[in-house]
């Protein structure tokens, strides 16, 4: 028998995306997914409420599966929307916004009149005069959509949020209270609109983020410049971006000069200078010039496309709180049905029983968590903070230990000259020492050589001719300058015995964790150059703010020597661990977790990928343009601004406070409504009007998360 490998199996599956209309909450998501995965030929399906999208993996690709999928989704009470139809729908929504505001004001007025009229008995004379068939027509006309959804779900053995209200309306109609049944159905439709508005609000941040993606590109080819769809550009082709236009692809600047705002990807509003050789991200805005790019990534493969995709998929990583709320929603409707049955059995009041059925709002429990999570994830993404799911927001809010990698995270990874020390026997000025060192290091590729060249450039020193350049690995470099042999390399104590003061100073600098270079001319020590990695700006302020969030343990971890790590840790006032190998970092994460502590780690996302993946929350710093960093981490900071770190933890804590308030408000509201209805104190009409209020409360509370406060300026 021939064995079929995993790759061969995966090749048989085809992935397609469909836009789904009509989903308001996680119950809708579940029903749509169940309808799709029940089809023959469908291997798996992910349905996303925020982007109204279904990603279907099928073993039977083609139009036949698509037709069956459309029918299955329609039978579940929803619809698959074509791209053009979706665009027309979006335009219609925008055009009718003012009309909806006016209708909302009218609806509130009518709601007030109905509630007061019902409680005061003012509607009895009016409703008694309305013929039953008029109410029946209203029920069919206004309630046809939710009633059809309830019927289709019932035929599948499913109970949805409108099932109980439908039973209540039918009970009122069978009892001859046709007007009451009609009013219940009207408010059921109002409730459906409320749920739709609430869900649409959660999609706002994602729509704004997706809307930043440019749709066209100016491609340069043999026929000159042509305007084409952005996703039709091939990797390697040239693209022209004029002032005021958005960069349509990820690409390297090959010609031109401009300033570019990359806030769409990194969250940084300060423009960067785009010179030849610089990598630019799609969705960046060009100003003050024009540039020509060679495309390196296009469409969904760009860094911006990856950000949008991960934000869309973030809702799949649900938090523990959300999973508990979803499970509770499954038990809530049967519980309400039991309360309604008990109300009828104990009190015998049909009015009270109907009120119990219609006042219950199960959708509010399902909306309480994801609305807040999606609002925060979308808003954070616009600030250059990519959170991959609600579970990580919940974990961030409870972090007790924060581990921080040193190189590339706390430090810039680019050493700088910090000390220039001249020998006493042959006093030479600092500028002369730097001049000689830069002349020798001119052609060296060592990172410390770059630090020396940068220091000389900062002082305005120019290079002199150097001959017979020689590089000796592990020793240093040398060259002939003005007839003398000049060398720059590691400290050799035996050559410094004649300079005890210089040797003592060199030992002191090395104990401080600095890298020390010895400069000699014709084998005579002239002085020392000390280099050290510089700390990124804003870290001290960020750490102070993190401590206010209740993070009790902050540690700097690194594979560097103890002196280098201690120097940085002492600057920041935090604990440290040095000489750690990658497996040591993972072991440290697990050790804290075994103690019952929740651990977050911040690293560069490449060398620290295993430890980032093992932490409760792995945070990659400066991940823009780095696919490995974005994919390996749970949270990706698209820039290297440390102000993003307290912003991230602040978002998490604020989001969890909103979630807990949403759940508490929903629970108390429903408990109060059910109690009043069961006691006969809440008429069916008022109960029907009241059932949509929790959605509005959740919407109002969660809307606070859509806009983040401006981040503090980084320290200079």
Which residues of the chain register pLDDT less than 70?
1-13, 24-26, 50-51, 59-63, 82-133, 135, 143, 156-162, 164, 190-211, 267-269, 312-320, 322-327, 329-330, 361-363, 474, 605-607, 623-629, 692, 708-716
Q: Which of 435, 401, 440, 425 is nearest to 496 (CA)?
A: 425
Q: How far is CA 297 from the centre of its chain?
A: 21
How far is CA 584 from each of CA 377, 410, 562, 577, 590, rounded to the nearest angstrom?
32, 19, 15, 10, 10
With both helix axes pointing from N to C terminus, report the angle between 644-678 and 390-397 in degrees, rounded to the nearest 10.
100
Q: How many helices (DSSP H) and strands (DSSP E) are in the chain?
A: 28, 24
Per-residue confidence (pLDDT) for residue 54, from 0 to 100: 85
Per-residue confidence (pLDDT) for residue 5, from 0 to 100: 38
Q: Taking the CB of residue 466, how many other CB atoms lie within 10 A of it?
A: 20
Task: Give pLDDT tens digits for 619-655.
Answer: 988 766 566 667 778 888 888 889 889 999 999 999 9
Per-residue confidence (pLDDT) for residue 63, from 0 to 100: 63
Per-residue confidence (pLDDT) for residue 197, from 0 to 100: 63
Instruction: Reply yes or no on domain 234-297 having CATH 2.40.30.10.
Output: no
Per-residue confidence (pLDDT) for residue 85, from 0 to 100: 46
CATH code: domain 384-411+536-653 is 3.40.50.1000
Q: How far is CA 271 from the centre of its chain?
A: 22
Per-residue confidence (pLDDT) for residue 3, from 0 to 100: 37
Q: Residue 634 in contact with residue 621, Cβ under 8 Å? A: no
Q: Residue 554 in contact with residue 438, Cβ under 8 Å? A: no
Q: Where are the domains of the chain?
A: 6-84, 98-204+312-372+655-705, 234-297, 384-411+536-653, 414-535
Q: Which residues of 316-346 are buried (b: 16+ CB within 10 A; e: fewer)?
A: ebbbebbeebbeebeebbeebbebbeebbee
How far, in Å, CA of 95 to CA of 88, rounded?
A: 10
Q: Residue 579 in contact with residue 559, Cβ under 8 Å? A: yes
List 405, 533, 608, 695, catalytic entry:
405
CATH superfamily of 414-535: Calcium-transporting ATPase, cytoplasmic domain N (3.40.1110.10)
Give yes or no on whether 6-84 and 384-411+536-653 have one common fold.
no
How far, in Å, CA of 307 to CA of 316, rounded?
A: 15
Give the architecture (CATH level 2) of 6-84: 2-Layer Sandwich (3.30)
Q: Which of 415, 404, 443, 430 is nearest to 580 (CA)?
A: 404
Task: Give pLDDT tens digits for 562-619.
Answer: 877 888 888 888 999 988 877 888 889 999 999 999 999 998 765 677 788 888 998 9
Per-residue confidence (pLDDT) for residue 278, from 0 to 100: 87
With both helix axes pointing from N to C terminus, report the angle between 163-174 and 350-359 in degrees, rounded to the nearest 10.
160
Q: What is the pTM of this model?
A: 0.71
604 is catalytic: no
């Amino acid at each position: 028998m021939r064995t079929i490998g995993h790759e061969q199996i995966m090749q048989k599956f085809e992935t397609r995306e469909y836009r789904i209309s009509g989903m308001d909450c996680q119950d809708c998501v579940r029903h749509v997914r169940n309808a799709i995965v029940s089809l023959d030929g469908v291997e798996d399906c992910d349905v996303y409420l925020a982007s109204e999208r279904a990603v279907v993996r099928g073993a039977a690709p083609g139009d036949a599966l698509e037709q069956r999928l459309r029918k299955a989704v329609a039978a579940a009470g929803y619809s698959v929307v074509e791209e053009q139809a979706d665009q027309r729908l979006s335009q219609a929504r925008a055009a009718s916004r003012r009309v909806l505001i006016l209708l909302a004001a009218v609806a509130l007025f009518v709601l007030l009149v109905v509630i007061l009229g019902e409680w005061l008995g003012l509607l009895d004379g009016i409703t008694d005069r309305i013929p039953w068939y008029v109410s029946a027509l209203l029920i069919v006309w206004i309630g046809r959509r939710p009633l059809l959804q309830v019927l289709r779900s019932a035929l599948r053995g499913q109970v949805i949020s409108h099932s109980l209200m439908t039973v209540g309306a039918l009970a009122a109609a069978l009892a001859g209270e046709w007007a009451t049944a009609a009013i219940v159905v009207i408010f059921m439709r109002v409730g459906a609109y409320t749920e739709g508005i609430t869900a649409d609000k959660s999609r706002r941040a994602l729509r704004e983020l997706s809307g930043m993606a440019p749709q066209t590109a100016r491609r340069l080819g043999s026929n000159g410049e042509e305007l084409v769809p952005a996703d039709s550009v091939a990797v390697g082709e040239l693209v022209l971006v004029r002032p005021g236009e958005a960069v349509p692809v990820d690409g390297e600047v090959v010609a031109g000069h401009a300033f570019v705002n990359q806030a769409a990807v990194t969250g940084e509003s300060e423009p960067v200078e785009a010179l030849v050789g610089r990598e630019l991200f799609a969705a960046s805005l060009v100003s003050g010039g024009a540039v020509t790019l060679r495309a390196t990534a296009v469409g969904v493969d760009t860094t911006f496309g990856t950000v949008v995709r991960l934000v869309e998929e973030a809702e799949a990583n649900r938090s523990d709180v959300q999973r508990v709320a979803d499970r509770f929603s499954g038990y809530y409707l049967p519980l309400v049905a039991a309360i309604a049955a008990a109300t009828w059995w104990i009190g015998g009041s049909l009015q009270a029983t109907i009120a119990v059925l219609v006042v219950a709002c199960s959708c509010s429990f399902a909306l309480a968590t994801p609305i807040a999570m999606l609002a925060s994830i979308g808003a954070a993404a616009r600030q250059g903070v990519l959170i991959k799911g609600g579970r990580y927001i919940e974990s961030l809010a409870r972090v007790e230990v924060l581990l921080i990698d040193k190189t590339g995270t706390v430090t810039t990874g680019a050493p700088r000259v910090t000390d220039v020390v001249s020998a006493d026997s042959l006093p030479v000025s600092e500028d002369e020492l730097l001049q000689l060192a830069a002349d020798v290091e001119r052609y060296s590729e060592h990172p410390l050589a770059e630090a020396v060249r940068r220091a000389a450039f900062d002082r305005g020193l120019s290079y002199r001719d150097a001959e017979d350049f020689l590089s000796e690995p592990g020793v240093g470099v040398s060259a002939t300058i003005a007839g003398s042999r000049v060398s720059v390399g590691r400290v050799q104590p035996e050559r410094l015995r004649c300079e005890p003061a210089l040797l003592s100073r060199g030992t002191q600098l090395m104990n401080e964790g600095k890298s020390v270079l010895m400069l000699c001319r014709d084998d005579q020590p002239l002085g020392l150059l000390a280099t050290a990695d510089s700390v990124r700006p804003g870290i001290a302020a960020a750490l102070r703010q993190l401590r206010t969030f209740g993070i009790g343990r902050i540690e700097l971890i690194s594979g560097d020597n103890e002196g280098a790590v201690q120097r940085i840790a002492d600057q920041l006032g935090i604990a440290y661990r040095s000489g750690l190998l990658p497996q040591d970092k993972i072991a440290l994460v697990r050790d804290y977790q075994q103690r019952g502590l929740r651990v977050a780690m911040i690293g560069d996302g490449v060398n620290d990928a295993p430890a980032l993946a093992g932490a409760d929350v792995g945070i990659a710093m400066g991940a823009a343009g780095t696919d490995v960093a974005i994919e390996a981490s749970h949270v990706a900071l698209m820039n290297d601004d440390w102000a993003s770190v307290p912003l991230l933890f602040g978002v998490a804590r604020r989001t969890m406070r909103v979630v807990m308030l949403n759940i508490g408000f929903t629970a108390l509201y429903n408990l109060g409504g059910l109690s009043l209805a069961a006691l006969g104190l809440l008429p069916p009409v008022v109960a029907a009007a009241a059932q949509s209020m929790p959605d509005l409360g959740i919407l109002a509370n969660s809307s606070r998360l859509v806009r983040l406060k401006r981040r503090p300026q980084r320290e200079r």
